[in-house]
A = this chain, B = another copy of it.
Amino acid sequence: LLLLDIPALLGADMSLITLTTDFGHADWFVGTTKGVILSIAPDTTIIDICHGAPPGDIRAAAFALAAAYKYFPQNTIHVAVVDPSVGGGRAALAVQTARYFFVGPDNGVLSMALENEKILAVHRLENAQYFLSPVSATFHGRDVFAPVAAHLARNLESLADMGPKQETYQKCPLPQHNQDGLLLRGSVAYIDRFGNAITDISNDAAGAAYQIVWCSKAAFPLKPCYTAMPVGHGVAVRGSSGFVEIAINRGNAAERFNLKVGDTVTVRHFDAKPMPTPL
């Protein structure tokens, strides 16, 4: 008896679920979601990636998930819920990749992470036996995505139990830029807490011979770290999320230069012709 019970008691299948949402921290939405998970899969560890995406901002949450997900252990179940069409027609998905599981609405919120992963299977969540009952029309994070993730965490059900396979998933529409050549064009993709403007130009594209980053309002030398420029000066760096970012050493670049998501950015190669100084 002892031997039989030990694996379950030991949490040999102990799982990790992450949450990325626009629920914020003021209300009970995140806590309730966790209560549902722990009611179904009590041994699960739940980690918040973040809940600060502006309400309904699919791209902000997709960016956050893409920046964070790969730092988690293999087999982590990543749940992302920004769901402005909840109760309408959008599908709900569970996706298995070579390293992880992803669960969320099929509206693009998973897509930036999935683009980096080898997709093994995409299934629609249609089997209501894995949902709470009844399912509300407005809070599928609690009623659909949390219980499905928890059932996956218990490792007793497979994706195929959750619903039919589908071929692909919705992408987050991104502006397409020319990101190689002497002038790499892109845009601001995310403004973080520190006022750093993270672009969609990858560090890999902006190699050592690229030296200046321009936005419409200023030029920033591309340096190894913030402190390569004096305190209060603008600086661009190859950022920790994998993309070039615009910053001020110990300052807030987004506030100072009124930078917004979508603003155009250019990274200039050493050999490119000088650009006119911004006004």
Q: What is the number of residues of chain A that contact chain B, defined by CB distance less than 8 Å?
A: 71
Give a binary string over A1-39; 1 marks a CB under 8 Å from any B CB, 0 the rest: 011001001101010101010011111111110111011
| A38 lies within 8 A of B16 (CB) | yes
How far, in angstroms, from A6 to B86 measured CA to CA in the complex? Answer: 45
| Nearest-neighbor residue (CB-CB) of A70 within chain B | B35
How far, in angstroms, from A39 to B68 measured CA to CA in the complex? Answer: 13
| A47 lies within 8 A of B38 (CB) | yes
A181 within 8 A of B: no
| A71 lies within 8 A of B237 (CB) | no
A 73-87 contacts with B by CB, 8 A: 73, 76, 84-87
Among B86, B227, B240, contact of A136 (Cβ-Cβ < 8 Å): B240
| Nearest-neighbor residue (CB-CB) of A88 within chain B | B227
A279 within 8 A of B: no
| B24 lies within 8 A of A225 (CB) | no
Among B28, B50, B73, contact of A50 (Cβ-Cβ < 8 Å): B28
A180 within 8 A of B: no
Give a binary string over A220-245; 1 marks a CB under 8 Å from any B CB, 0 the rest: 00001111100000000111100000
Chain A interface (Cβ within 8 Å of chain B)? 2-3, 6, 9-10, 12, 14, 16, 18, 20, 23-32, 34-36, 38-39, 42, 45-52, 55-56, 64-65, 67-69, 71-73, 76, 84-88, 136-139, 142-143, 192-195, 224-228, 237-240, 250, 252
